[in-house]
Structure 1
Amino acid sequence: MAKNKTLSKAINSMFQWYKNAIRCYVFLSDVSVSTATEPVQRSDWEASFRKKLIAPPSVEFFSCEGQPIGDKASLDQLIHEITGIPLAALRNYPLDQFTTSERERWAENRRTTEEEDIVYCLLGILGVYMRTAYGEGQESARSRLQVEVVVVANVPSIIPFLQNPRFVGRESQLAELEGKLFSNEQTTTTLAIVGPGGLGKSQLALEVAHKIRQNMDNCLVFWMDELLYLPLAIAQAAACINASGIIVQNYQAQLDAYNDAAIDHSSDSPTDNDDEERLDLLWKCALALYSDGRYEEAEELFVQVMETSSRLNVQVMETFKRVLGEEHHSTLTSMANLASTFSNQGRWNEAEELEVQLMETSLRVLGKEHPSTLTSMNNLASMYRNQGRWKEAEELEVQVMETRERVLGEQHPDTLTSMANLASTYKDQGRWKEAEELEVQVMETRERVLGEQHPDTLTSMANLASTYKDQGRWKEAEELEVQVMETRERVLGEQHPDTLTSMGNLASTYMNQGRWNEAEELEVQVMETRERVLGEEHPSTLTSMANLATTYLKQGRWKEAEELNVQVMETRKREAEELNVQVMETRKRVLGEQHPDTLTSMGNLASTYMNQGRWNEAEELEVQVMETRERVLGEEHPSTLTSMANLASTFSNQGRWNKAEELECQARHKDALVLMERCFRLSQQVLGKQHPDTQSSLGTLASWRADCSDENS
């Protein structure tokens, strides 16, 4: 029994072992060095263990004579032709970019000694853990694998029956159903499979559901049985096809009636079926309302989904604790899920309590170097970072990074992710040099291991460019941003959101260097593409318009700037104040008054008040933002300096517009000058004399001093 358990653990861990390895070596016993690169020489290439080809970042191959043939990078085209494994998978792109069916096909030609191994070799590739049982046969193993794949899937789909392994044929009917369901001509489709009983209508529908679930990772598939409560069944059906006239209050009343009718059912299973059905119905109805543009009603239901979800997660965790014990893997997983739910709801104290408990249990049971322990430490650090608790986050992130560096090596993806997380925490504290050092290391390693075109490499380059910009190092930022933009344009296309983001970043860098024509050219392209793809009133389109308007203003092209700003203003002004107030109040309640996002919202609302000439209300918010940032981040933090400059501008504007009250005017000018002088002094000290923010502060200060001299003369 112990031997079987050890073997099962080894098979399940093998993919991770290969993934953690810096380099793997493959000996091809019947491949000669002279014919190794010829497609006809297929034997050991074809049988070679798929995990070795996909998991490690580096694989070196040797012939039967013991001579090196090449590595995975140099031979990827040949390996692709022989095994059918996509080039992207061989180049270590994330496996979740491939469907379950695609990944299963990678093992189709593999020869195995035991028939079950054709299934077991997929465990790591599909990201599931499953006990091995030699002798059960391939069919049984595959059925169990399907269950595990559904369990670990993140997309909330419900298909209560397993795929029938004996289902064969009927390809034309399957193709017809899929074609009608995903026709480009319509977005909502209702289909009925009709015919006499016993012809296999349910089996056909089941096969379609499973195929869609396997081939379309982002597609939600729900198998709904007839509901017991007829009025709710009718309302639910209508909501799901977006044709219901029911208002949310009536829907809730019918839902409660259904829940009362089924409330007495109980079970020893971790969750109550009635609760699960209630959650399922709430989710579907919320999605239907949202897609119909009824956002407030949808939001009300989404809140109920979150509340119900957290209650169910508590129930699951408590059941696992009672049945399996506090240290069981399933119990720890349920704790992590509940902590994540609490965190998403902004219930930081409850989330932190669970995360700390989870981390301490993992440390005690699994050890400080176990991947699950490091993941729990990283999750806790992330929660601290989201609350602006930088020092606590930093302490954990340093620990995780150093452990992964020691255990997995500097080139391992998890190590690089830890470095990037720590760099982000340094940047949040204005510690640019420390952030830069880590980001350079991450970028160079990913470039060497993954290649220049890999998404993770491009993200690293964009992060480093951002750090250069924060320090006013425009040329270095520009060089990286040009490379990122051109690569994304070539690989993803001109209309891809990431490409447009890259173009916007580069335009911003040009603008900060006074290169207006180059900035304008990119901004026009971004705006026109977003307008065409997303529509005129999409937030991203409006942001593009505002950016282009700013560029026109900088060039003195007032008429063009005015036209764009009027268009943006007309779209935004009706909602700006109301939305900013709502966001600020929600963030205060959920995140707390000191959270960075809350302070950003307060700054946005203050800006809205300023644009309306409501100086006192703007000042009240800006004083609060500046004092909080000064207390939490320190007076030298870039965000604190920005708050000072904003408040100084508000003081100055109050002095300028309140001419009727001479004493107040003079006092406000004095306040503005004192604050801007302090801002300039600190900017010089922290950012340097040549930094654009320092230069901007100096220019503003000189202008205000001149105004004061004119008034006093």
Structure 2
Amino acid sequence: MAPFLHTDYSVAWICALPLEMAAGNAMLDKTHDRLSQPSTDPNAYILGELHGHYIVIACLPAGVYGTISAANLVSHLVSTFPRIQLALMVGIGGGVPGTPHDIRLGDVVVSRPVGKYSGVIQYDYGKALQDGHFEPTGILNKPPQTLLTHMARLEASQLAQGENSILKIISDVLNRNLDLKRRFSRPNGPDNLFCASYPHVGNESNCLKCDKTQLLDRSPRDTATPSVHYGLIASGDRVMKDSTARDLLAQQLGVICFEMEAAGLMDELPTLVIRGICDYCDTHKQKDWQQYAALTASAFAKLLLSVVPVSRTEDPGLLNQKVRHWIVPFAKNPKFVGRQHEVAELEKLIAAQDGPARTAITGLGGVGKTQVALQVAHRIRDRDNECSIFWIPCTSHAMVEQIFLNIVQTLGIPNANPAEAKEQAKTYFSSERAGRWLLIFDNADDAEMWSTLEQFLPQSEQGRILFTSRHLELAVDLTFSNIIAIPDMDRDTARQILEKSLIQRDLLNNHTKMITLLEQLAYLPLAIVQASAYINKKRIDLSTYSALLKETEKEAVKLLSEDFRDPGRYSDIQNPVMTTWLISFNQIQQQNRMAANYLSFMACIDPRKIPRSLLLSQVAKKETIDALGLLSAYSFISTDGTDISIHSLVHIASRNWLRENSLLNYWVERVADQLDEAFPDDHYTNRALWREYLPHALALMRGKEFQELLTDRTNLTDKIARCLAIDGRFNEAEVLYHQLIQIEQAKNGAEHPNTLISMANLASIYQSQGRLNKAEQLKLQVVEIRKTVLGTEHPDTLTSMANLALTFWSQGRWNKAEQLGLQVVEIRKTLLGTEHPDTLTSMANLASTYHDQGRLVESEQLQIQVMKTRKSVLGVEHPATMTSVHNLAYTWNSMGKHNKALQLMTECTRLRAKHLGPSHPNTLSSSDALAQWQETESHGSSKSIKRLKRTV
């Protein structure tokens, strides 16, 4: 007889435990030799015959149970054995005792549709309702119709004849195999069922210490003869050991058995579930019954297959027929949420007869491109039973070569070898005999790899190619701009991912904490799944994880570098966000050095609204466009007009990458050089520019790396402090001036001009904060030192005296303010002249003192003199001139010259609004005064007053 082929096998027999596989193997009429299988398929198989059916028995990996593990097993199985038509999940489960099903240990439960449910319910996936009820979400596939039909026929036959064929099958198997008989025979121990409210006593596996008065008294039954029960089976990722929860779910949903794998199979491969009952889903687990229960389930499976007709054709032309192939390494993700628009658009493009031959999904690493592609693959597989789907991970050259070899082997192409596999695959897929197909190239990020790989892409009207790529520019080249971008900030999707990923659902009750954490994780799907894995393992709440992220940048990096298991990602690649982006960092470095430099530069400043003018200068325009374009292509940055923003988590990852490569200090110094050159002085005309630069300068200064350079960066620090002071950010400015004073004193001494300038500036900050006594003390100190070192007539000494006079004025000490102000005015007139700005400032301050002393005429005369001189020397629109106009208007109003005051204040308001802006504090001060005077004196209509107030 010719050797068997993968296409000969039509029945899958799936087990969760080795003992279940052993029981299944014992049922076979004949076993077959093993066949070769793709290296991407990790499953272990037993092949054989049963009642003419060619059977594939597969078992989950040891110790790895649950719905996801089962789904992965089936995904590989159907790829290796493409003609599987029927599937049985055969093994042990926990029974639900009570009416109408009198379930006993050793009985068999078989899944069968009931009402709106298909036979299997995923009981840990759905909605917890307010009244304590649970509502499963979604309906799983039904078992194959042919199995349901012949199962009904078998049930009818059993009822009519009253015989128990299962017992006969078990007896025959055990008599043929004495070793199996010793281990799989029915236990001699009792079939005990305790009250639901009574828990197991002690740590032993038996119930010797349990109170026998808590046993339920059940009606007699021939328990040596297994009964078969048909109904709903509950499946989930947790072992059911709570009899109270068991009874509640059984009452709500009508289930009669609990197990852990079936829900992962039903949407991958419609399956009939057969469970031998080994316990009652309570704390009184009966492990002694497991082998026998596995045997009774296997016996029923054998009995069922004996009445199912064999569906196999011996036509020698069979192998030339088109076979749908499925080589996808991941099962369908039951926790997939959101992205419905992108999934629907991709399906539409791939299915369209005149659709593009190539399409790409692009987006930031970790945004969920692979999951979207996987969802599309499974949806096309469910919808189109003739389309073959092949998944090629592009994580390395070696991986691509291996997958292509697996593909040509699966296709049965003769003389398959690694050197020619890609060309052989191209030839096959370009031919009509390939039928409809979809190739998915996942992680197509490496431009160098694709410079050689693109020539092997097939072309066919029946075929489509889908890429997932972080590299937008490469995706454009590969697909001729047929791109679907995955947005990296989808709040609703992010919330759903967190809800699906957390075990402790009560953590989601605090909406504020949930939103805070999602914002910290930038709504990035991979970061959310990673955070959930950590929270689940450590049993912490959302606030604790959020606090760890906030603690320090180093702690945030540690959290985002924590590896975790994810069945939807490649097992040979680390999953953390930080590790994921390292690949992109390295690719950017290789492709464009300037792009890497810009990324390093932006890592040292605030990640939001970075002006292009702040970036490294002396770079050609095209070079800048290419570099920023590459960063944008990887979704690391986004642009808005002339501003650039870097993704917040990419910002942290970039800093960590620089730190790990001992480059952070170097780049902090380069950025400091650039800021020192670009940051403007505190002239009022530079206000808009310094406000753009301030967030980035402050972000740079906050880092400990900059603090180590602070001694050599006093000029930049002083410019930043001055601008902060002008903007009214006095507390921030105070901190910087304290630092400057310490540096200057240590470097130059307490009497150095730079030290005294910083002290004077700090004193001004104190005065602006209303801390007048501290301002006076510090200003007196500066005045005395400058008199001693520089002399009374030195400009710096006079400035200090004028500032001290201003403090006296603020304290209401008019005589001292006048005395010192007059002294400064006379000296400045002599040394600088009456038209010098400093002289005029001193005269204006003296005029204010006269005003507050009630000496209005003297104040008016002096203010008129100052205003006229400033108009002549500085111009009408200069801020100092407008200040003189404002002050003179106040004096005229105080003198009762209301019309003149209103005219002057109106002009002042107009000029300030034009040159400083309507929201500037000086403009608002003039507008407020004008509105108040108009209302008080009833000048102008009330309508114009209200309009003016609205403008203010």
Same fold (TM over 0.5): no
| Higher helix proportion | 1
TM range (shorter): 0.3 to 0.5
Bigger strand share: 2
Q: What is the TM-score when the length of structure 2 is the normalising length? A: 0.29
Which structure would you say has the larger RCO, counting Cα contacts within 8 Å and 6 or more residues apart? 2
